[in-house]
Chains A and B, each alone.
Chain A
Amino acid sequence: MIPTSPNDDDFPWWLVAVVAIGLYLFWQVLTVAEYSRVLSTLRRGIWVTIYVTLVSYTLACLLGLGLALAQISRSLILRQISRFYIEVVRGIPIIVLLLYVAFVLAPAMVVAWNWVLQSLGFDPIRTRDFSLLWRAVIALTIAYASFLAEVFRAGLQSVDEGQIEAAESLGLSRWQRFRFIVFPQALRTILPPLGNDFVAMVKDSSLVSVLGVTDVTQLGKVTAAGNFRYFETYNVVALVYLPITITLSLALRRFEKRMRER
């Protein structure tokens, strides 16, 4: 169904080059004292990066799917609300959203939450109890939900009308039509761009360093400030991200290939 591109059968020389260069650089990192010290500090940030990426991406998928369903719903109000959200959020740089969420939305959420808590007779929480990591996760979720909503919507709308009419004529309910006919077919269109956005999320998770969340990038920032070796430190930062992003891209390509062969 999806046309094959001519370079599909190329031997992946680029990958050989990447692996060779990567191995050489890792060997450098492990043997040169300055580099290996940087790596041992950055290591502590890897789990934060992975955690922020996975949680934000999962939440963004759920919110994005909800927005996409609202887009194709029969209710004018839902459709308009969803479009409003997507257009506004997609039009704001993520770094700006991040600062809004951290210093405007998060304190407001705490006030609202306390209002509920106190009317139930519980002690209020403080703004500082709402960690910066979670504020960053919420900001990334809000931002990526708008991209993913468009991916989901395009996928859902790519399913042929005839399929839906056929399902209707077989007497399937609206939910059954979505679950058994539309969604499985839409998934083939949705998955590749969804995967691309996941790789993009790994990289954009570095934006949380703006708030000081100690992910790989933030640790790189403070390490460079303390060891005065700016360039060397960021070399190691790049080297930490690359295996994650390249492995994901490769997995994604394999997956796409299998989908085409089915």
Chain B
Amino acid sequence: MRILTTLAAAAFATAAIADGHLPDLDGREIVVVTENAYPPLQFIDGNGDAVGWEYDAMAEIAERLNATIVYENISWDAMIPAVSEGQFDLGMTGITIREDRAEVVDFSDKYMTSEMVMMVRGDENRFADAASFAADDDLLMAAQPGTTPFYVGVYDVLDGDEANPRIKLMETFGATVQALRAGDVDLVLTDGTAGNGYVDASDGGLKIIGEKLGTEDFGFFYPRGSDLVAPINAAIADMWSDGTIEALITKWFLDYKLGQ
């Protein structure tokens, strides 16, 4: 079934360039930068290979637009400054499209909508949802500053104050999960896929509670004024309409077993 989808998509891509409804970039080289630290969008699998939803999507875009992708690695902290300075053509890191960020970089149209879930220790019984967490001043949460879980935590769970001392800031997402397990904090927000990955790997040490929170739209980002925005948006629209994006979501978010 998946092979059929892929074949259909490939046939469609060829047809797309042939009928001229997508721009032809003429083999142009696009330097894409990523950290490989956000499964299942981009990560290092058990064999040490860089794989994920975004790699597949980018390959698909490259094929439809007749472009060549070159991958570079940079850490999350350094990625927005490096892309906004024009050191790379495109950043791919499951980043939320936000107005304040749009002042320094351009965003593509959304290619995914992410929902956050609440991850807590397996024996947590003091709160069951965002409201009861927010109501108890003793409860703390952890997040990586400037990331989607951070913003959802501040605006959808807590009081909208980005300096709220109840949100502890840490260098990596993994560190926030470790702080949760160690009892330093009581809540970590994560998208459902990564959350399930951590829960499965924890032998009952972690669980997911409550409703899904704040929906966030993910996009690729470019240096301001990049001429890649329009062609890649056209390819993304194409992939929404022919079901390629759905098929990739099924592949990486439902079928793929993370952390094995």
Chain A proximity of B127: nearest CB distance (Å): 23
Bound complex: CA A226 to CA B198 (Å): 10
Chain B proximity of A111: nearest CB distance (Å): 12
Given that A37-B46, A231-B178 are known contacts, is A225 also in contact with B78, CB under 8 Å in the complex?
no
Tell me which of B45, B87, B172 contacts A127 (CB under 8 A): B87
**CB <8 Å contact, B48 and A40:** yes
- Annotate A117-128 by CB proximity to B: 1 below 8 A, 0 otherwise: 000000000111
**CB <8 Å contact, A210 and B75:** yes
**CB <8 Å contact, B44 and A222:** yes
Chain B proximity of A76: nearest CB distance (Å): 40
Tell me which of B44, B73, B202 contacts A226 (CB under 8 A): B44
Bound complex: CA A226 to CA B39 (Å): 6
**CB <8 Å contact, B37 and A222:** yes
**CB <8 Å contact, A226 and B43:** yes
Please give me the residue from chain B that is nearest to A210 by CB atom: B75
**CB <8 Å contact, B75 and A227:** no
- A212 part of interface (Cβ distance < 8 Å): yes
Given that A44-B48, A212-B35 are known contacts, is A225 also in contact with B75, CB under 8 Å in the complex?
no
Of residues 29 through 45 on chain B, the ones whose CB sits less than 8 Å from some CB of chain A are 31, 35-39, 43-45
Q: What chain B residues lie within 8 Å of A223 (beta carbons)?
A: 44
Tell me which of B78, B194, B200, B259 contacts A99 (CB under 8 A): B78
**Residue from B38, B78, B87, B198 having most chain A Cβ neighbours under 10 A:** B87
- Annotate A221-243 by CB proximity to B: 1 below 8 A, 0 otherwise: 11111111111000000000000
Please give me the residue from chain A that is nearest to B51 by CB atom: A226
- B197 part of interface (Cβ distance < 8 Å): yes
Q: What chain B residues lie within 8 Å of A222 (beta carbons)?
A: 35-37, 43-44
- Annotate A96-121 by CB proximity to B: 1 below 8 A, 0 otherwise: 00010011000100000000000000
**CB <8 Å contact, B45 and A214:** no
**CB <8 Å contact, B259 and A226:** yes
- B218 part of interface (Cβ distance < 8 Å): no
Bound complex: CA A228 to CA B39 (Å): 9
Q: What chain A residues lie within 8 Å of B75 (beta carbons)?
A: 209-212, 218, 221
**CB <8 Å contact, B74 and A211:** yes
- A132 part of interface (Cβ distance < 8 Å): yes
- B242 part of interface (Cβ distance < 8 Å): no
Chain B proximity of A29: nearest CB distance (Å): 15
**CB <8 Å contact, B44 and A211:** no
Q: What chain B residues lie within 8 Å of A126 (beta carbons)?
A: 87
Of residues 64 through 106 on chain B, the ones whose CB sits less than 8 Å from some CB of chain A are 72-75, 77-79, 81-82, 85-88
Given that A211-B75, A212-B75, A226-B36 are known contacts, is A127 also in contact with B258, CB under 8 Å in the complex?
no
Residues on B close to A: CB < 8 A? 31, 35-39, 43-48, 72-75, 77-79, 81-82, 85-88, 172-175, 177-178, 194, 197-198, 200-202, 258-259
A-B contact pairs, 7 of them (CB 8 A): A37-B48, A40-B48, A210-B75, A223-B44, A225-B43, A227-B46, A228-B194
A128-B87, A212-B73, A224-B174 known, 10 other contacts, Cβ within 8 Å:
A37-B46, A44-B48, A128-B88, A132-B74, A213-B73, A221-B172, A221-B174, A222-B43, A224-B172, A228-B197
